Amino acid sequence: MKTLAASFTALILSALCLHAQTPPSPGSTLGHSIHGETFDEGPRQQTRCRSGMGEAQFPVTTASPEAQAFFNQGAAQLHTFYYFEAERSFRQAALLDPACAMAYWGMAMANPNNSKRAQGFLKKAQEKAAALGEKLTGREKKYLEALSRYHEEGKKEEERRGNYVQGLEAVVLAYPDDLEAKAFLAWAIIGNSWAGDKLNSWVAVNVLIEEVLRRAPMHPGAHHYRIHLWDRHDPEQALRSAQLYAQSAPGIAHAWHMPGHIYNGLSRWKEAVYQQEGSARVDHAHMLEDAILPFQIHNYAHNQHYLIANLSHLGRLRDGVAFSRNLVEVPYDPQLNDKNNGGSAQRLGRFSLMRLYVRYESWDELLSDPHLDWSDVPEEKAWKAYGEGLAHLGKGDRGKAAEEAGRLDAVAAAAAKNPWRDADLIETARLELRGRLALAEGRMLEGFDLMNRGARMQVEKFKEDLAGYPRPFHEALGFAHLEARDWGLAEAHFREVLEHRQNNLVSLAGLVEACGRAGKEKEAAEAYHQFLKAWQEADQDLPYRKRLEQSFPSLAQVSRTSEIAADPAGTAGTAGGEEPAGAKPVDLANLGPKLWEPSPAPDFSLQEAMGKMVRLQDFRGRNVLLAFYLGGACAHCMEQLFALGREKEAFDKLEVQILAASDDPPERSRDLLAGPRGKELPFPMLSDPGREAARRYQAHDGFENLPLHGLFFIDRQGRIRWSRIGADPFTDLGFLKAEVERVNRLSIASTEKK
């Protein structure tokens, strides 16, 4: 329950935010910001006061209470790495009070991964600070100085990182009641350790975080940073923050995601899945509400990848497959998630789908699922050969398995010429496939030698669930020893996995079988009791329970006598099994859709050059490529339209209708079509008076009241599958043709599966 003070603060914030005003029009600059190149990227639509962003109190020099409210919102968003929306909040503050120097400091802070833009914003902040003179507080000056020292040119990165920490320490020493400074300082120290600086004391940083939490128990940054501090080091120390972080900022997906790290480290799979699914649903709601695409959201694909890995341990195969396919189906983007980006949604989706099929021996699905549309990137070629090789072995076709092993050998040999992480990952996969093939062919010593080498490599380099290897290698070795009737070695390998990934369904099933085959009835019964706890969360049509009870009839008695109650608190299959103290479980369905859904495209009724009215819904059942351009006087706009005209035949084959809209009146469009290059525009030219349709599609800068270029791929169901809005027109039509073809193919495959 919110405290009275927090509720009153939220009420004041909401009231103030209602007064944000739309700026007067400064005149068109053909898509480019009047403030310079730095403002051409990032958010270009106004924001609003959002619920669930967390509380932050960061007073700045401004005469506008509304600007202060948006600044506080931006500061809270920074603490949860909600950078895109944080920049938007700071831009809203600057819109309300252009003299607010710290608003530009906030914009710089919201660009930790784009130093060029951060430096541009910081320069603007310094200009505004100079104009304010003595009106700017000493505290604000110290914040600006700290960030300026980090971005100081001519200094080595390590020195700049240290200077930033010293700058924040100066704020803390001069203003010991400034909780935001202490929170930012804690994160700076933790972040510097990731960059290579030595972290000598986790406890010292934790004490700094505790100082914040003593005065602000629900401070989102403090909980966030404590999770990062102890994750992979001693996750138990951050359990309380894992229980409270999503409550502190429930409207931000990252606040749901990060507790999953802690629960994952503690083998509390159900709680981890709860957090990660909450993260997915919050992101999906945000995408639908604000017409955001997945590749525009920080860490979206990573969050889903984590969720699928945890679902695998729980035995929730169907959900894991659904989330994996959904990742493959989200849009590509040539800049933000192309095939060479190892963290792209599509690559992580294919990998996650393959790892599920391999772990659960779904061989037919692995060989036929159209979502496994692997690219020609070496690592993906390796996973294709690895997965299909194991599938053919599982189906008894050693010849085809050997062909895939040969392909994997070739990829591994090529990767070894440039040794790095991918080369080791591919070699580990090669050792497993070659080992399994040797075992299938009766070459037992060679096979187990290869697999033992692979297991050592995986444990040394890819031990974590998200480190890049499809499954725990010792689990694969356990099942290999079961097939070889080496019951003791099989048991040892399964116990090795369960030491680090407690209560995961697949390894527990293997352990039960290994103990049962060895005649260890007591150990088999104990393992089966643990298996039944985990089984409560698993897909009930998986074969494990039926197979175990048929093989070992005495286990059926364990099943009948084990009083395993229903588990509404969500702790079955967890380490410890206690209900999270202070946690407030919510119905995840209320947060947003479970899977990503494309946003519906706003309908319109616009007049084309010859006077006919054209509506988007007229093209339902056909793809649409909708271009908002800035009129016939815009030269680079026209080049985009001419390029689209040259590709009309190709788009026709993909069942795509091209439409172009601007605020030119119909007679101006008629003049263009009647001109010397009119034949190069073989599609409807629509008139959008006042750019009303463009505004509904957000192809308009709400901060500066400027028109923007916009290109939208709308699918047969009238949903936005991809878009690009910005200062310049998008012209990579080769990418667009490939993306339309991909969406068509996956849509047909999904329809056929239904």
**Residue-by-residue DSSP string for 184-195:** HHHHHHHHHHHT
Mean pLDDT within 267-288: 96
pLDDT in tens, 586-600: 999 999 999 999 999
Split at pLDDT 50, 70, 90, the class of 575 is very low
Split at pLDDT 50, 70, 90, the class of 256 is very high
| 223 within a domain of the structure (yes/no) | no
- In terms of domains, do 616 and 575 share one? no
| 519 within a domain of the structure (yes/no) | yes
Q: Position of tokens 């995601």?
A: 257
| 715 within a domain of the structure (yes/no) | yes
Spatial distance between the Cα atoms of 579 and 713, rounded to a whole number of angstroms = 46
Single-letter code of the amino acid located at 184: F
- In terms of domains, do 147 and 9 share one? yes
- In terms of domains, do 30 and 136 share one? yes
- With 50 as the cut, is the pLDDT of residue 581 above it? no
Average pLDDT, the chain: 91
- Give residue 751's pLDDT: 59
- With 90 as the cut, is the pLDDT of residue 573 above it? no
Distances (CA, A) of 631 to 132, 646, 664, 681, 709: 40, 19, 6, 14, 10
- In terms of domains, do 649 and 744 share one? yes
Spatial distance between the Cα atoms of 427 and 473, rounded to a whole number of angstroms = 13
pLDDT in tens, 593-628: 999 999 999 999 999 999 999 999 999 999 999 999
- Give residue 7's pLDDT: 38
Q: Which percentage of the chain shows pLDDT scores above 90? A: 84
- Give residue 559's pLDDT: 66
| 230 within a domain of the structure (yes/no) | no
Q: At what angle are helices 220-230 and 179-194 packed, to 10 degrees? A: 20
Split at pLDDT 50, 70, 90, the class of 338 is confident
- With 80 as the cut, is the pLDDT of residue 457 above it? yes
- With 50 as the cut, is the pLDDT of residue 6 above it? no
| 394 within a domain of the structure (yes/no) | no
- In terms of domains, do 631 and 533 share one? no
- The CATH number assigned to the domain holding 65 equals 1.25.40
pLDDT in tens, 512-528: 999 999 999 999 999 99
pLDDT in tens, 119-154: 999 999 999 999 999 999 999 999 999 999 999 999
- Give residue 285's pLDDT: 96
- In terms of domains, do 614 and 747 share one? yes
Tell me the pTM. 0.91
What is the span of the domain harbouring residue 563? 486-579
- In terms of domains, do 609 and 743 share one? yes
Split at pLDDT 50, 70, 90, the class of 464 is confident
Q: Which of 97, 124, 151 is the last residue of a domain?
A: 151
- The backbone region for 186, taken as left when phi is positive above 0, alpha when psi lies in -120 to 50, beta otherwise, is alpha
- Give residue 554's pLDDT: 85
- In terms of domains, do 639 and 738 share one? yes
- Kindly report the backbone phi and psi dihedral angles of residue 465, in degrees, each rounded to the nearest multiple of 5, phi listed first: -60, -35
pLDDT in tens, 675-719: 999 999 999 999 999 999 999 999 999 999 999 999 999 999 999
- With 50 as the cut, is the pLDDT of residue 20 above it? no
| 628 within a domain of the structure (yes/no) | yes
| 510 within a domain of the structure (yes/no) | yes
- Give residue 674's pLDDT: 94
- In terms of domains, do 687 and 561 share one? no
User: For residues 410 and 467, which has the higher predicted lDDT (pLDDT)?
Assistant: 410
| 14 within a domain of the structure (yes/no) | yes
Residue 413 tokens read as: 């040999």
- With 60 as the cut, is the pLDDT of residue 1 above it? no
- With 50 as the cut, is the pLDDT of residue 268 above it? yes
- With 70 as the cut, is the pLDDT of residue 355 above it? yes
- With 90 as the cut, is the pLDDT of residue 159 above it? yes
- With 60 as the cut, is the pLDDT of residue 5 above it? no
The four Cα atoms 698, 701, 707, 711 give a dihedral, to 10 degrees, of -40
- Kindly report the backbone phi and psi dihedral angles of residue 183, in degrees, each rounded to the nearest multiple of 5, phi listed first: -65, -45
- In terms of domains, do 605 and 575 share one? no
- Give residue 19's pLDDT: 41
Contact predicate 700/690, CB 8 Å: no
| H/E run at residue 415 | helix 398-416
- In terms of domains, do 527 and 663 share one? no
- In terms of domains, do 1 and 68 share one? yes
- The CATH number assigned to the domain holding 693 equals 3.40.30.10
Q: Which of 579, 614, 633 is the last residue of a domain?
A: 579
- With 50 as the cut, is the pLDDT of residue 240 above it? yes
Spatial distance between the Cα atoms of 353 and 340, rounded to a whole number of angstroms = 19
pLDDT in tens, 635-661: 999 999 999 999 999 999 999 999 999
pLDDT in tens, 474-493: 999 999 999 999 999 999 99
Q: At what angle are helices 521-535 and 544-551 packed, to 10 degrees? A: 160
Number of structural domains found in the chain: 3
Contact predicate 430/412, CB 8 Å: yes
Split at pLDDT 50, 70, 90, the class of 749 is low
Please report the DSSP string for 69-134 in residue order. HHHHHHHHHHHTT-HHHHHHHHHHHHHH-TT-HHHHHHHHHT-TT-HHHHHHHHHHHHHHHHHHGG
Q: Which of 130, 151, 172 is the last residue of a domain?
A: 151
Spatial distance between the Cα atoms of 323 and 353, rounded to a whole number of angstroms = 9
Split at pLDDT 50, 70, 90, the class of 382 is very high
Contact predicate 479/508, CB 8 Å: no
